[in-house]
Structure 1
Amino acid sequence: MPIIDLQRRMRQLGEIRIGRVVDTGRVSQKTGKPILRPEKLNHFRFTSPSREILASVATLYGGEVQPWTPANGGPSEFEVYSTTNRLPVLIPPQNAVSQWYELYAGSKCQRRCDGVTEHKQDRPCMCNPEKRDCSITTRVNVMLRDVPALGQWLLISKGYYAAVELPPAAELLAQAGGYVAGWLGMEEKLVQRADGPARFMVPTLDVEITPAALMEGSVTGAAAVSSGPERVAISGGRPDYAALAAEARTAEAVGELWTSANRAGHLDDALAATLKARAAELKKPAPTQGPSTAPAAHPDVMPDEDGAVDAEIVEDDDVEGIWFQIIAAAGALGLTTEQVEAQFAEQNSGLHPSTAKADRLREFLAALKAVRA
């Protein structure tokens, strides 16, 4: 069910895209706004709220980090036009690919349907099966193997071929019982239509494991999966939280590990001490850097076994510390970071929490605590 998918999914670091929108040079007579059209790309494009993560992406896959504002007027982010069309990834065993029929009005989803039931309002599907208003929307979630950040990347396709080719691959991958080393690629399709040939890009998934091994539940690509702490940690069984914490780059990521371990019943005194120490280490100022303008989180802000944190030790201007509390409180409610960010933006006129002031974050935290109470 979709809600299970949302609860179990790691936080989204950004999106991997195979196209962009460009200005046609024309203006809509109805709205007075420029008319845009989609344009396919031959190499992957990355977008993310994090400049630092995209800097690592650019180093690995080419391109430069530059500011980007979504055409729908969403919060400003950053983008990188890479020079590659093939990415080494880790493919999750569950929910690597999801599909819905969706209808949007601007950036707001009006309908989300599985072909029988419209799940936004829990009612029967409203579309004519022969001529649907909704578009097929396929989402692919992967981890980039070599990017030093803990989370998944999302690729969205509204094409027919992605819709029919990717789900069977995901079903086969689910037999592995653990993350599988593979490759996310793109290939050009040429289709002959009544009005002439059409060319478009289609995302592809390839794996470093044989189909027979997948069906047996044995991941033979162990060498590829276990070449670093992060990959060992997610290769199956109980996660190696200490290894994941060692690879984490922010205190927020360590907080998410704490919440995940607590929810799974894995949080003991030894692990709690390890995670606290790693969080404190990440909050220390780098000795070689000049004065930082970013507020530092309090080294002792860590959720307890119930996911709660001590609000009294967070300073008034401690933005990161407040956000750390929000993540902990949200985890206790079963919410993911992506859900929290979306909810915050919805309640604050599209403002992303990474650019919010402390007072806005405090108000949001208070609301979460009220829901929990």
Structure 2
Amino acid sequence: MGSRLLNIQRRAAEHGRLRTGFTQGNGPARSATWIVTSHSEEHVRRAAELWGGEAEPWTPLNSTIGQWRVITRVPAIEALITPGDPLNQYNELWTKGGCQRRCDGETELLSRQPCICARQFGEDWHQKKKGTVCSATSRLNVMLPDLSGMGMWRAETHSFYAASEWGGMVDMVLAGTDGKGFVPVTLRIEPRQVVREGKTKKFPVVVVELRGVTPRQALTGPMTAATALDPAGGQAVAAIEAPRPDYLAEAEGALTSDDVRDVWRRASANGHVDPKGRDELSKQLMAIAERMDAEANDTNDDEPVEGELVD
């Protein structure tokens, strides 16, 4: 591997965004399905092929640079958490003039003051009207394995509830993998509701779930890329879930050489031996079968031959 600049943080290019809302004539609207946006027409058209919807030119609000967008028909998409820490979270307040506040929950980082929202409104500050307080902003960088390109896609949410769930989920995965290897996940838009002051409020929350693997697999160390890309059908997953049978013990307990050969055929069907018999286990099984054949021949030679009566 070649050298790298040590004073520059290495990261993959950002291909686009995964959104849960859009702007229409009468203001912002939430979407029950994923919205994929990108500068690349190819990426967006491929997303439309996979997840439905129509690719269309699109210009973000307060921007003059055109992009592409598709409002898909799916509430869940498959993704990969990549090595490193893919999540960053801040309480942020944005206006047309840009970011006015960026707080880590204790300190407002732009002014270096204690959390302004909590000081003004107490611990329930997040229930105040949007635009008057910060929004809990979570940005998760993932890879979409079925789209072209090796870059990242950014899923962003301003949900107070998603902030705690994303942080807990990602931190558990990082504790098991030490930030190494890929982890297969599903990003799912889940409808929820709460009742406050006698009023029911409905809203979507983006949920990050493990996909095709168990918590045991996700927390026992980094996965191989092959397992992460095909968690349901990969042989690595099967090997973790079901240990390889002791074929040699089965062969030693067999009654005939044909039974030993049946053991080898089963091992071959499970992918545990070379189909051409060149691996060590195949050689050991064949040696057992040949030994049984030799023992059977020796036994037949020692059998008495029934005498023939002659007049």
Is the shorter-chain TM-score for this pair beyond 0.5, marking a shared fold?
yes
Asked if residue 124 in structure 1 is aligned to residue 140 in structure 2, the reply is: no
Give, in angstroms, the shift of residue 220 of structure 1: 7.5
The residue number in structure 2 matching 1:194 is 197
Q: CA deviation at 1:197?
A: 1.1
**Which residue of structure 2 lines up, in the alignment, with residue 7 of structure 1?**
9
CA distance in 1, matches of 2:57, 2:97: 20
What RMSD, in angstroms, separates the aligned Cα atoms of the two structures?
A: 2.4
Gaps of 5+ in 1: 1-5, 25-35, 228-373
Contact 2:182–2:228 under 8 Å retained in 1? no
Q: Deviations over 1:94-132 (max 9, x none)?
A: 3222210111122611222212333345x2335141247
How far the C-alpha of 1:217 sits from its partner, in A, is: 0.9
211-220 or 175-184: which moved more?
A: 211-220
Counterpart of 2:25 (choices 23, 26, 29) is 23
The residue type paired with residue 14 of structure 2 is: Q
- Does residue 204 of the first structure (1) align with residue 207 of the second (2)? yes
Listed one character per residue, the Cα deviations across residues 123-145 of structure 1 (whole Å, up to 9, x for unaligned) are 23351412473221011211111
Structure number with bigger Rg: 2
Looking at structure 2, the residues matched to 166 and 74 of structure 1 have their Cα atoms a distance apart, in angstroms, of: 32
TM-fit CA distance, 1:165: 0.8
* 2:33 paired with 1:55: no
Number of aligned residue pairs: 210
One-letter amino acid of the structure 2 residue matched with residue 168 of structure 1: G
Aligned with residue 73 of structure 2, among 80, 83, 91: 83
For residue 7 of structure 1, give the secondary structure of its aligned residue in structure 2: coil
For 1:70, the equivalent position in structure 2 comes to 60
Q: How does 1:32-181 map to 2 (within 5 A)?
A: 36=27, 38-106=28-96, 108-120=98-110, 123-129=112-118, 130=122, 131=125, 133-174=133-174, 175-176=176-177, 177-181=180-184
Q: Contact 2:105/2:115 (CA < 8 Å) preserved in 1? A: no
Report deviation, 1:166.
0.8
Alpha-carbon contact 1:11-1:151 (below 8 Å) kept = yes
Aligned residue type for 1:210: T
Distance 1:51 1:220, change over 3 A: closer
Aligned amino acid, residue 69 of structure 1: T
Question: Which stretches in structure 2 are left out of the alignment for 5+ residues?
Answer: 1-7, 127-132, 232-311
Judged with a 3 Å threshold, the aligned counterparts in structure 2 of structure 1 residues 221 and 148 are, in CA distance, closer, same or farther, namely closer
Contact 1:46 1:79 in 2 (8 A): yes
Alignment partner of 1:94: what SS?
coil
Q: Give the TM-score of the pair, scaled to structure 2.
A: 0.62
Per-residue CA deviation, residues 66-113 of structure 1 (Å, 9 max, x unaligned), is: 111112235221100111111111112432222101111226112222
Indicate whether 1:216 and 2:220 are aligned.
Answer: yes
Change (3 A) 1:73 1:195: farther
What whole-Å deviation, never above 9, does each CA across 1:26-60 have from its counterpart, x for those lacking one? Answer: xxxxxxxxxx2x32212111111111211111111
Q: Secondary structure at the match of 2:116?
A: coil
Cα distance in 2, alignment partners of residues 194 and 10 from structure 1:
46
The whole-number CA distance in structure 2 between the counterparts of 1:203 and 1:68 is 23
1:221 Cα deviation (Å)? 8.2
Spell out, residue by residue over 1:2-24, the C-alpha distance to the aligned partner (whole angstroms, 9 max, x if none): xxxx9343211111111112222
| Amino acid of the structure 2 residue aligned with 1:63 | G
* Contact kept? 1:209, 1:221, Cα under 8 Å: no
For the Cα contact (< 8 Å) 1:213–1:220, is it kept in 2?
A: no
What secondary structure does 2:25 align onto?
strand
